[in-house]
Amino acid sequence: MVMRVTQQSLYGSVIRQNNASLSALMATNLQSSTQKRINAPSDDPNGASVVLNTRTNMSELTQYQRNIDSAEGWLKQSDSTLTSVSTLITSIKAYAEQGATGSVTDANREEIGSAVRQYFEQLISLANTSYGDYALFSGQMTDTAAFEQTLWMNSNDTAFDTQVEAGGGFTIQGDTEATILVQFTGTDTVGHQPAFQYSTDGGSTWTNGSYGTASAPANQQMVMGGVTIEMADGALDAVTACADEDDTEGTWMWIRPSAVYKGNSNDDITVTGANTNVTGTATGDFSGNVMVRMDDTSGSPCIYSYSVDGGTTWVGNQTSGAVTATSITMAVPGGILEIDPSTGALSDGDQFFIQPSTADVAMTVSPTDSVVVNGVGKDIFGGIYNDEAVEIEGSVEGNLFETMGKLIGYLETNNQQGCQEALDQIAASQEHLLTVAASVGARENRVASADTMVQNLYENSNTTLSNVEDADLTALITTLAQQELAYQAVLKSSSTVMQLSLVNYI
Amino acid sequence: MAGISSILSIGQSALSATQTCLQVTSNNIANVDTDGYSRQSVVLKDGYYVSGSPGQLGSGVIAQEVVRAHDSFIEAQYLQKLSARDRFQALYNGLSSVQNLVNESNTKGLNSSLSTFFDDWGDLTTYPDSTATRQTMLDDTETLLSLYRSMADSMNQMEDEINEAIAADVDTVNALAKDIADINAQINKTEVEGQNIPNGLYDLRDQKIRDLSSLVDVNVIDNGKGNVTVNTNAGQTVVDGMSAYEFTFEPGKTVRQMTQASKTAGSDAQAYYDGKDSSEYTLEVVSGGTVGAGATFRVSLDGGKSWVKDDNGNDAVYAADDNTAKVRVGNLDIWFGTESDPDTTTASTTLLAGDKFTLVPKKALYWYTTAGTPVNVTPQQYADGKDNAARLTGGALAGAFLFRDESLGDYQNTLDAMANTMVWEVNRIHSQGSGLTAFNSVQGTYSVADPNVALGDPTSGLTFSSRLASGAAMLYAYDSAGTLQASGSITVDPDADSLQDIVDKINDVANPVSAYLTASIVNNQLVVSGAATTSSFRFGDDSSGLYAALGVNTLLAGSSAEDVSVNAVATNNTDYVCAGHVGLNGLLATGDNTTALAMTALENKNVDFYVVGKGTDSQTLTQYYSSLVSDVGADTASASYQLSYQGALASQLEEQQLAVSAVSLDEELTNLIRFQHSYQAAAKLISTADSLFETILGLKN
């Protein structure tokens, strides 16, 4: 194509072409200095978005790594504590065996008793182990020591025990360094103050007991030196008098050490009718608060929705169980809610807040797994909670602290048969403890495998990031060389063209 | 004799003609580098013919006129491409500044701050009662929020700067229009067709029109001489011959389009608004009536093509009321008044279905007709990406407006939506938990406009009114020893309960906590305080969102990217950061990390973002931000691509125009030699004629 080339277009295009070559060179230069292909969102909008999301993901995984380190620390500490406790129990078992043999004298039993008492205190301090500043076995009350030593009572008379429980239990005040053995010497169903005697030296010497002023009108307070025990009138009516100091047919009481649990537990579940008078109860194993909303109460069954994230999102169209005049049951994640429509006016829109007591300290160790790193002391070691002896798997036999306390009581009061009973129960509590230790071990394994998984995920994300973001170094260097060559070529040809002019020849 | 003297006169005419040619050629050489100069050449015509004996004899050469080389067809195409190129240049310039704000490729930015915020809450799950961990979280939150604020601030600054640039450009357009009109007048005065062509003035006018086309799109109609009409592509006249029209850049004017029936009824209703937005709001009355008594309207953000929808997918309908009950739609508070007074309504302030009002809540470009009526020519883009052809579509002005309204306005709304949702979701979780210390007294951070209007009503003035749901909220009261005294719940119905109703419910004797707490309203905000100086209280489960909406027990305050901040209650005392919750019998266990766990779960939870006119988006916070970044990147890349494409086309056309009208030195130098020879030859004629005379005179002797 024949075209008229003018000075302006000549110089204009020289400048334009130089600029184009140079700016391409500069862009490649920027990539090689940052080693990245994406230096601004406009370089690759989709890639920029992937880069941001991946970086967030990697940061989250790093945080999980920190959680894993914490969880490992907690669980290791629990593990070693439980191992120590088990060793302790084995030593105590040996003592209990000694105490249960007939060939041991009273004085020996007393010595064994004082040794076991020391072990008891050691047991309490082990149960109060903390990791850093956090108590391991207090549930979520990690700033509180799990157990505190206290005094408790057990007797040899089951009828008496039943009456004590029916009367609302007992309260002990005061302190003693040795087990107090109480024997009722008479009965009194009128004044509710049967005569009794007590001994603080294992039955060698006896003192007559007296009654003090009870705090409630239907109670009686027995005074035994520095210790008082208060119980209902009905309990004292059920005692049997002892003929003499060796009469095992009468009612005897041992007041000996035990441990009371000061942390919190996972047991109780409260149901609040949020905007209604209808009451309800919930059963199950809830890990957090659940809200339930009645959407359609007209038919049978009812339609309801629930929310596990504080009301932000609701899962709807759930069908309840059969509707009766006094009960509607609804299943939610964690358990069952049962409401009683006869207690109020139930209408559409009524909401119920299920508020379980939470004692688990859970840590998220991977995108899909979280691990409970603490324990509820009373469910492991027993002791006293809510003013009664804790039942482990339905019986008091697995209650370690109670068994220990009874053993101390029997040893210090020279009761061979009692020691034998205690020895049988110790086996049960040790077995329970080993189960708990196994569960801690299993959790440690979970954390270890979460560790591996998180590390793998991090590697993966890092690779993805690199694939999207990083510049290919070899290709970059080749391109750089190419563009440099192109720029030089443009400069050369431009300078050749610029030098040609008719002025040189005229 | 006639023959010889005619040789003289022919020689003389040749001399003067060649001299003229030489002069024009030297002018071309001198102006080889002048921008906008068109190469000039002389049109030579042979002289008149005289009938003589041998037939017709010529009488030499006449330099008739000087013409310039200029291709108006190429010029017309070039002007279009120039407008397109400069539109994308302005757009690209603006977009690359915004891109710098969100470019985290080689630095840390909002994305990494957001990530750190959630990681800190993750650390709180393992150390819930540690003051150091809490303080770190608060510090990192403040960093995150300050990034929001600075981004919003920078975008506002960009908006101000672009407005200033637009104002300057509009002044330039007006000045150019006047100049062109003046040049047209001068051309009319000086041009004599066929003889005297003011080439310099034509070149000047072409240059001015090019300058004009780089600011607005132009369409030139040339009727010869000074009768040139310059219109925009949409039809507005910029210059018509010797008169120039004006553009102004001023605050938007509301346009009233009443139906015929409304006009006959003599309605004087006018819509008013508070606030600003980058879109034009078209209000259409759905059901008629008097203002404040049943009239309702719907809103469109793209001139009536699509209407703003509500949560169920139907057109959102708002109540038309007077200035005591302003309705919040998008970023504006809208109400109705009379045409003359926004604060009153009369009996004839009636609306009928079909009446339309267009609100322009920004500074806009207006063109004034000869009658003085303003016409809105602000560039507008529909949702499908097409330009509104009735408005300005090319030039730097179009680019600047489209950047300000479509791109920047969009990004500002997106950032605000993200801040709004983040504040709501974080507070929603935080306000249901409990810190290490109970409250003695607390004041909410959000206020209502009228404590007697239902909280969920758009006229209540509560920022988060649309997010409230029906439900209940728990309160726990403690004595000085920290023992739980009472717990109770208050029911919340956002469609019926006003702030005063909530206060009354808390103070109601039937509520177990009322004996220990007093609620009141101060500065239109909720205040709860213990009844005795030793009473304290905590908050619990809240299925309605009341606490988050009123700002009690919250971590964050504010509701848009410009005003987010950390709640002063938490900054003053890290114990008020809620990592746990109220447990059995009012217990606050120090190892309780339930709220912290819920907060970390928020990082991966899909939450709802609301941008008016765009429907609801459901994504995680990180994904929403990264799609904003990706949008900015895509828009910038697209503008850059368009710029280079249009730029390449424009330079091609420029080359073609230069090929026709620019000076080639080689050509001119050649011409110089040619005319030099012609001059020498012409001089020879004179000397030949002279020697002929001598010969004839010598004959007598």
Q: What is the pLDDT of residues B612-662, one digit of tens each?
A: 878 788 999 999 999 999 999 999 999 999 999 999 999 999 999 999 999
Phi, psi of B358 (to 5 degrees): -110, 120
Q: State the pLDDT at residue A1.
A: 64
What is the rounded average pLDDT of the residues A229-241? 89
Q: pLDDT band at A300, cuts 50/70/90?
A: confident
Say whether B42 sits in a helix, a strand or coil: strand
Query: Distance from A75 to chain B by nearest Cα, in Å?
Result: 13
Whole-angstrom Cα distance, residue B47 to residue A128? 126
| Closest CB from A13, A264, A274 relative to B472 | A274
Q: State the pLDDT at residue B51.
A: 86
Q: Do B543 and A310 touch (CB under 8 A)?
A: yes
Whole-angstrom Cα distance, residue B348 to residue B266? 7
Angle (CA) B256-B378-B609 rounded to 5° is 85
Which residues lie across from A315 on neighbouring strands? A306
- pLDDT of B265 higher than 50: yes
What is the rounded average pLDDT of the residues B359-369? 93
Tokens of A285: 């194993």
Q: Tens digit of pLDDT for each residue in B95-114?
A: 999 999 999 998 999 999 99
Which residues does chain A have within 8 Å of residue B474's beta carbon, measured at their own beta carbons?
Answer: 272, 274, 353
Q: State the pLDDT at residue B266.
A: 84
Torsion region of A185: left, alpha or beta (phi above 0 gives left; psi -120 to 50 gives alpha): alpha
What is the rounded average pLDDT of the residues B241-270? 90
Whole-angstrom Cα distance, residue B349 to residue B265? 10
| Residues A264 and A140 sit within 8 Å (Cβ to Cβ) | yes
Tokens of A246: 């060796």
Whole-angstrom Cα distance, residue B261 to residue B555? 54
Q: Tens digit of pLDDT for each residue in A30-81?
A: 999 999 999 999 999 999 999 999 999 999 999 999 999 999 999 999 999 9
Nearest CA in chain B to A314: B543
Q: pLDDT band at B538, cuts 50/70/90?
A: very high
Tokens of B419: 């801040």
Q: pLDDT band at A379, cuts 50/70/90?
A: very high
Which residues does chain A have within 8 Å of residue B660's beta carbon, measured at their own beta carbons?
Answer: 4
Q: Tens digit of pLDDT for each residue in B177-202?
A: 999 999 999 999 998 887 888 999 99
Nearest CA in chain B to A351: B471
Q: Do A39 and B105 touch (CB under 8 A)?
A: yes
* Cβ neighbours of A102 (radius 10 Å): 5
Whole-angstrom Cα distance, residue A330 to residue A322? 9
Q: Where do runs of H (alpha helix) occur along A45-187?
A: 45-100, 106-127, 158-166
Q: Tens digit of pLDDT for each residue in A446-500?
A: 999 999 999 999 999 999 999 999 999 999 999 999 999 999 999 999 999 888 8
| Residues B561 and B418 sit within 8 Å (Cβ to Cβ) | yes
Whole-angstrom Cα distance, residue B472 to residue B196? 91
Q: State the pLDDT at residue A22.
A: 93
Q: Which residues of A282-313 are buried (b: 16+ CB within 10 A; e: fewer)?
A: beeebbbbbbbbbeebeeeebbbbbbbbbbbe
Flag whether residue A502 sits within 8 Å of chain B, measured between CB atoms: yes
What is the rounded average pLDDT of the residues A16-28? 92
Which of B412, B466, B445 minimizes the C-alpha distance to B608? Answer: B466
Say whether A202 sits in a helix, a strand or coil: coil
Angle (CA) B355-B359-B364 rounded to 5° is 140
What is the rounded average pLDDT of the residues A225-253? 87
Q: Where do runs of H (alpha helix) occur along B461-513?
A: 499-507
Q: Do A63 and B594 touch (CB under 8 A)?
A: no
Flag whether residue A309 sits within 8 Å of chain B, measured between CB atoms: yes
Whole-angstrom Cα distance, residue B654 to residue B153? 41
Which residues lie across from A330 on neighbouring strands? A337
Q: What is the sign of the dihedral through the CA atoms of A459, A465, A468 and A473? A: negative
Residue B610 exposed, middle or buried by CB count within 10 Å (0-12, 13-18, 19+): middle
Residue A391 exposed, middle or buried by CB count within 10 Å (0-12, 13-18, 19+): middle
Q: State the pLDDT at residue A269.
A: 93
**Cis peptide bond N-terminal to A367, omega within 30:** no
Which residues does chain B have within 8 Å of residue A139's beta carbon, measured at their own beta carbons?
Answer: 589, 591
Whole-angstrom Cα distance, residue B189 to residue B242? 11
Chain A segment 4-63 residues within 8 A of B by beta carbon are: 4-9, 12-13, 16, 34, 36, 38-46, 48-53, 55-56, 59-60, 62-63
Torsion region of B230: left, alpha or beta (phi above 0 gives left; psi -120 to 50 gives alpha): beta
Q: State the pLDDT at residue A502.
A: 84
Q: Tens digit of pLDDT for each residue in A119-136?
A: 999 999 999 999 988 999
Which of A375, A370, A264, A285 minimizes the C-alpha distance to B582? Answer: A264
Whole-angstrom Cα distance, residue B103 to residue A161? 76
| Residues B609 and B595 sit within 8 Å (Cβ to Cβ) | no
Whole-angstrom Cα distance, residue B151 to residue B194? 63
Residues 6+ apart with CB under 8 A from B699: none
Q: State the pLDDT at residue B1.
A: 45
Residues 6+ apart with CB under 8 A from A16: B651
What is the rounded average pLDDT of the residues B594-612? 94
Query: Distance from A274 to chain B by nearest Cα, in Å?
Result: 6
What is the rounded average pLDDT of the residues B438-455? 93
| Residues B358 and B282 sit within 8 Å (Cβ to Cβ) | yes
- pLDDT of A243 higher than 90: no
Residue B64 exposed, middle or buried by CB count within 10 Å (0-12, 13-18, 19+): middle
Biggest CA–CA distance in chain A, Å, is 152
Q: Do B115 and A309 touch (CB under 8 A)?
A: no
Query: Distance from B368 to chain A by nearest Cα, in Å?
Result: 39
- Cα Rg of chain B, angstroms: 39
Q: What is the 3 state secondary structure string of A168-183?
A: CCEEEEECCCCCEEEE
- pLDDT of B312 higher than 80: no
Q: What is the sign of the dihedral through the CA atoms of B479, B481, B487 and B491? A: positive
What is the rounded average pLDDT of the residues B4-18? 89
Flag whether residue A440 sits within 8 Å of chain B, measured between CB atoms: no
Q: Do B102 and A41 touch (CB under 8 A)?
A: yes
Whole-angstrom Cα distance, residue B146 to residue A35? 30
Among A2, A5, A8, which would you mutate to test the B interface (most chain B Cβ atoms within 10 Å of its Cβ)? A8
Whole-angstrom Cα distance, residue B142 to residue A63? 20
Q: What is the 3 state secondary structure string of B230-255?
A: EECCCCCEEEECCEECCEEEEECCCE
Among B592, B608, B669, B671, which would you mutate to test the A interface (most chain A Cβ atoms within 10 Å of its Cβ)? B592
Residue A60 exposed, middle or buried by CB count within 10 Å (0-12, 13-18, 19+): buried
Query: Distance from B641 to chain A by nearest Cα, in Å?
Result: 10
Rounded to the nearest integer, the mean pLDDT of chain B is: 92
Q: Do A7 and B32 touch (CB under 8 A)?
A: yes
Q: State the pLDDT at residue B264.
A: 87
Nearest CA in chain B to A4: B659
Which residues does chain A have within 8 Å of residue B670's beta carbon, measured at their own beta carbons?
Answer: 502
Pairing of strands A351-356, A290-296: antiparallel
Query: Distance from A178 to chain B by nearest Cα, in Å?
Result: 35
| Closest CB from B105, B589, B625 relative to A36 | B105
Query: Dihedral angle at the C-alpha atoms of B563, B567, B572, B573, nearest 10 degrees?
Result: -150
Flag whether residue A281 sits within 8 Å of chain B, measured between CB atoms: no
- pLDDT of B322 higher than 50: yes
Percent of chain B past pLDDT 70, that is, above it, reads: 100
